[in-house]
């Protein structure tokens, strides 16, 4: 039955994105089905967003359909199979886009959707800068690693709990091995993905980066100092694999085809490997050490102020596309300390969105359309899937997005304050947020205190986002226009979308 549900979801999505012939690529991340499309105009946005399984859509370099964690991993294979089955000679032309049914839903929800679509398109245009495109490529290297980080992180948390309780002493060493195996070899996976992303041979990237974690590097002396396995970590692996790609491309242009299969792999691994041993491992190791120390100092000395800024500015960073620079930073911290102290603080931004959404629901008792949108997006928001609330509710309204960020700032300040007081609250993996982060929490004072501080931070974020939005999120004009009881327009037309955002 579950498999049929995911199959039905994929079957419902395919014609609404223009059919199989309009799909050029299919991938997924933690929550989104990411599609490359030939003709964006063939997508029927409103009908797509009306599907029960679809939480929202996001336009970026790909067309992204938010399905939520777990669901997206099951729908994507079904969708890929349908696209492949259609083949190159698909039959009938896909149905063209249909105009939204003006009389089928309240006007406010339609206007919000249009406003959200315009904001997404504007953000996409602004994010197409060389720096942000480069950061997106860096993110593409690390995002595929998130499921393994989550799985190993949960096992590590369970093992830590068993060790603290002195339970199952014969099992805990095995759990430690299972949880730590991936992190011990993460450099190899980063090298593999780096080579694939920058146009090289993935296995050569992995082979080059494997030098970093090879135990035998302890016998290598460079510049009068002994190397240590793992020195440089994921940053060194990224640099080593990128250098390997450059060497490989150079060889492909110059080595005769008759000996290419022998010469190019050998030269690539040799040159990049030696450069890694006698340069990159030292440089990346220093950067990793400084990064870890800076993150610790940021919250141990900055405390509430640092948490306030991080929690309040995270969603604007997401809007600008700069949040992708944090992914290798999180991974470096997890590799060095076992957890990242930044993620729980940044997760407070989602708590502010939830609090703001509840306030919107309370302030607009007569707007059945907006309240319906809030109800459908609220539970995913509690679980850390924030796109439906951001693009469907707070961002199109304008002021509530700002007050939601204020809620995130206060939640971040709370968690940051406890970090300053000596209670580290960290996450053993990246990706989840909200309530979904609880199984991944770790710190320096045991799971009980860590979970309590994080839960209290969420409560502060919810409350601050609610109060800021309830009292400061609306102008009188906005309340007058948005809280009107729905009534079908006499001429069958629709109010302009920009009226909804008036007073921002």
Task: Count Cβ atoms within 10 A of the Cβ of residue 422 and give its class: 0-12 exposed, 13-18 middle, 19 or more buried.
Answer: exposed
SS3 242: helix
Closest of 364, 329, 376 to residue 478, by C-alpha: 364
Catalytic-role residue among 29, 152, 362, 405: 29
* CA 256 – CA 279 distance, rounded (Å): 30
List the beta bridge partners of residue 57.
Answer: 65
**Between the CA of residue 354 and those of 142, 256, 348, 394, 486, what are the distances in Å?**
27, 60, 10, 10, 25
**Residues making up the chain, counted from first to last:** 504
Residue where the block lists tokens 């009881």: 485
SS3 94: coil
SS3 468: helix
Residue where the block lists tokens 């029927």: 44
Element housing 59 (H / E): strand 56-59
Question: Is residue 29 annotated as a catalytic residue, yes or no?
Answer: yes
Instruction: Please give the full DSSP string across 245-306, using - where no structure is assigned.
Output: HHHHHHHHHHS-HHHHHHHHHHHHHHHHHHHIIIIIHHHHHHHHHHHHHHHHHHHHHHHHHH
Closest of 412, 356, 415, 366 to residue 389, by C-alpha: 356
Closest of 143, 212, 149 to residue 181, by C-alpha: 149
Other CB atoms within 10 A of residue 286 CB? 13
Please give the distance of CA 238 from its chain centroid, rounded to a whole number.
Answer: 19
Q: Are 228 and 217 in contact (CB under 8 A)?
A: yes
Instruction: Please give the full DSSP string across 377-391, using - where no structure is assigned.
Output: HHHHHHTT--HHHII
The alpha carbon dihedral of 164, 167, 169, 173 has a sign of negative
**Between the CA of residue 156 and those of 160, 179, 287, what are the distances in Å?**
6, 5, 26
Burial of 435-459, coded b for 16+ CB within 10 Å and e otherwise, reads bbbbbbbbbeeeeeebbebbeebbe
What token pair was written down for 457?
């931070």
The catalytic residue positions are 29
């Amino acid at each position: 039955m579950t498999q049929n549900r995911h199959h039905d979801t994929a079957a419902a999505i395919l014609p609404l994105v223009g059919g199989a012939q309009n799909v050029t690529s299919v991938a997924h991340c933690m929550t989104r089905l990411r599609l490359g499309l030939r003709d964006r105009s063939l997508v029927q946005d409103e009908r797509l967003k009306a599907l029960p399984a679809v939480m929202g859509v996001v336009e970026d370099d790909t067309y992204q359909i938010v399905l939520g964690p777990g669901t997206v991993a099951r729908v994507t294979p079904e969708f890929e199979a349908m696209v492949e089955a259609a083949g190159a000679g698909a039959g009938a032309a896909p149905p063209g886009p249909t105009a939204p049914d003006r009389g089928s839903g309240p006007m406010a929800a339609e206007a919000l959707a249009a406003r959200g679509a315009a904001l997404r398109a504007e953000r996409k245009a602004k994010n197409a800068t060389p720096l942000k495109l480069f950061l997106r490529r860096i993110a593409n290297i690390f995002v595929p690693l998130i499921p393994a980080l989550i799985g190993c992180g949960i096992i590590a948390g369970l093992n830590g709990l068993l060790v603290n309780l002195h339970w199952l002493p014969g099992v805990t060493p095995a759990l430690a091995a299972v949880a730590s195996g991936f992190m011990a070899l993460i450099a190899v996976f980063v090298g593999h993905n780096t080579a694939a992303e920058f146009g090289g041979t993935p296995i050569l990237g992995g082979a080059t980066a494997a030098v970093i974690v090879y135990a035998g590097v302890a016998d290598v002396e460079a510049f009068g100092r002994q190397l240590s396995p793992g020195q440089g970590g994921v940053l060194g692996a990224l640099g080593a694999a990128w250098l390997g790609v450059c060497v490989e491309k150079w060889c492909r242009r110059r080595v005769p085809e008759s000996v290419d299969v022998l010469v190019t792999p050998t030269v690539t691994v040799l040159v990049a490997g030696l450069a890694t041993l006698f340069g990159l491992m030292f440089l990346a190791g220093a950067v990793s050490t400084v990064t870890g120390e800076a993150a610790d100092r940021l919250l141990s000395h900055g405390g509430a102020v640092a948490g306030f800024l991080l929690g309040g500015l995270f969603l604007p960073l997401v809007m600008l596309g700069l949040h992708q620079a944090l992914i290798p930073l999180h991974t470096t911290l997890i590799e060095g300390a076992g957890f990242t102290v930044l993620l729980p603080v940044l997760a407070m931004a989602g708590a502010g969105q939830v609090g703001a959404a509840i306030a919107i629901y309370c302030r607009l008792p007569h707007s059945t359309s907006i309240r319906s949108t809030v109800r459908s997006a609220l539970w995913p928001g509690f679980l850390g899937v924030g796109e439906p609330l951001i693009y469907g509710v707070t961002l199109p309204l304008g002021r509530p997005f700002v007050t939601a960020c204020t809620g995130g700032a206060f939640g971040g300040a709370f968690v940051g304050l406890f970090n300053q007081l000596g209670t580290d609250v960290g996450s053993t993996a990246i990706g989840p947020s909200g309530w979904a982060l609880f199984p991944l929490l770790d710190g320096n004072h045991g799971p009980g205190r860590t979970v309590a501080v994080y839960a209290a931070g969420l409560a502060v974020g919810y409350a601050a986002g609610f109060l800021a939005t309830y009292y400061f999120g609306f102008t009188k004009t906005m309340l007058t226009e948005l809280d009107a009881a729905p009534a079908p327009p006499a001429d069958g037309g629709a109010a302009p979308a920009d009226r909804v955002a008036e007073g921002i």
